Amino acid sequence: MKFIDGIAILGALAWAPHLITLIKNHFTKPKVRIITSRFAELGFTSFGPILNLHLAFSVEHKDIVVSDLKIRLKHQSGEERVFEWQGIKQSVGKMTTPDAGSMPFEKEQSVLAIKLNQTQIEERFIRFQDVAFIASKKEYENSAVKKIAYLKAENKYDAEAFLREQEMIELYNFNKHSFPWKEGEYIASIEVQSPEKFILADNIRKFSLSPVDIEELSKNKDILEADYKRLLVGKKEGEPDIVWQWRSPALLKT
C-alpha cells in the first residue's frame, strides 16, 4: 500500500463516525402517524368557523413534543382556510357517583404543547378555529369594548341599549358574513410542528358537505345576536338555552 493510499483510508475513517451518526439519525427519526375518529365535527358560532377532531398519535423510534397543530382546509373550489388548535380535552379515566353511576372524566389541556410517547396512544378531542376569523374579529370586539368603556365612564352604559349600537351591529354583520361552509368536498391536511425533525404520516383526510348540511349550519347565523345578548345582559329566568347546529361529516383517507 502506498503512503498516499494510507492517508486516504485514514481520512475516510475519520469521517466514518459522522456518517454513522447521520445514518442512525435518519433511521431513528421520530415518525408520527395521525389517527382520527370516523367523523369530524363542524360548526359556526360566535367563535366563528369551528372544526373539531378526535385525534390520536402513534409515535415510533422516540418521544416527541408537539408545539403547534393546524388543519389546512381546502374546498374543491380552491378556497383555503387554516384552522389552529384552541383547546384540548383528554380522557383520563372514569368517575363513579351515586346518582349518575360511572362517568368519563376529562381534563382540559393547554395548547402550548403536548408530549407524544411511544408507549401510549392517547385520544384527544381538539378544537380548531379559523385563524383569519379570530384576527379580524378582534378588531370589531376592540371597538365594542372601547365604546363600552366610554359609555361607562360617562355613566351612560345600558347593556340592552348597547346591543343596538353601531359597534355591535358591525360585529354581528362581520360574524354573519364570515360563514365559510360550502357544499362539496374538502381536503383536510393536518399539520404538526415540533422543535425536532420528524416524519409525518397519514395526515390527509377528506369529507363532503351536502346542501342539507349547509342549510342546517346556516341556521346558526340567526342566533348570533341572541348569543351576544346572553353575553352582555345575562340569561333571564325561564329563557331557553341557545342551541347551535353541528354537522358530523364522515372522514375518509385520501
In which domain, by residue range, is 165 found?
Answer: 30-234+243-253
Is 201 part of any domain?
A: yes
Assess whether pLDDT exceeds 80 at residue 3.
Answer: no
Residues 6+ apart with CB under 8 A from 160: 233
Our count of domains for the chain comes to: 1
Secondary structure (3-state) at 216: helix
* C-alpha separations of 117 from 29, 83, 105 in Å: 14, 25, 21
Q: Mean per-residue pLDDT for 101-128?
A: 75
Assess whether pLDDT exceeds 80 at residue 181.
Answer: yes
Of 3-17, 31-45, 175-189, 214-228, give the lowest mean pLDDT range.
3-17
Is 124 part of any domain?
A: yes
Is 17 part of any domain?
A: no
Of 12-16, 148-152, 158-162, 184-188, give the lowest mean pLDDT range.
12-16
Is 16 part of any domain?
A: no
**Between 71 and 102, the higher pLDDT residue:** 71
* C-alpha separations of 179 from 156, 207, 242 in Å: 34, 18, 18
